[in-house]
């Protein structure tokens, strides 16, 4: 998904991706898509995350989760109400290199 349709189409062509979108809601509501990764600016995380949750799809959202605690709470509440998995991309926490840095800082 990319807002610029020509760039989305070109990328899909070069990488043999069968579908491409320039409208997030078309992607979110495509029945062939079974999960959503939200990597937009944080100001739109809530909007797209809740749309994906309402479409019944699990969401992996980049950090920061949203622009403030109230927005993040709304996202979490929507996921809980629909029993949809919502995950924030805090993957670095478990990386070996980051654990070593943390260990060095604690000395």
Tens digit of pLDDT for each residue in 23-73? 999 999 999 999 999 999 999 999 999 999 999 999 999 999 999 999 999
DSSP string, 43-102: GGHHHHHHHHHHTT--EEEPSS-SSSHHHHHHHHHHHHHHT--EEE--GGGG-HHHHHHH
What phi and psi, each to the nearest 5 degrees, are found at residue 80? Answer: -65, -45
Q: Using the predicted structure, report yes or no on whether residue 91 has a pLDDT greater than 80.
A: no
**What is the pairing mode between strands 59-61 and 86-88?**
parallel
pTM listed for this prediction: 0.82
pLDDT (0 to 100) of residue 8: 95
**34-106 has CATH 3.40.718.10 classification:** no
More confident of the two residues 80 and 98: 80
């Amino acid at each position: 998904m990319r807002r610029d349709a020509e760039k989305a189409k070109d990328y899909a062509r070069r990488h043999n991706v069968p579908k491409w979108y320039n409208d997030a809601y078309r992607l979110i509501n495509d029945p062939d898509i079974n999960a959503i990764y939200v990597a937009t600016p944080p100001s739109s995380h809530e909007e797209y995350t809740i749309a994906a949750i309402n479409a019944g799809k699990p969401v992996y959202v980049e950090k920061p989760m949203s622009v403030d605690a109230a927005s993040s709470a709304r996202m979490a509440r929507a996921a809980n109400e629909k029993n949809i998995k919502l995950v924030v991309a805090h993957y670095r926490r478990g990386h070996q290199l980051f654990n070593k840095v943390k260990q060095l800082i604690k000395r």
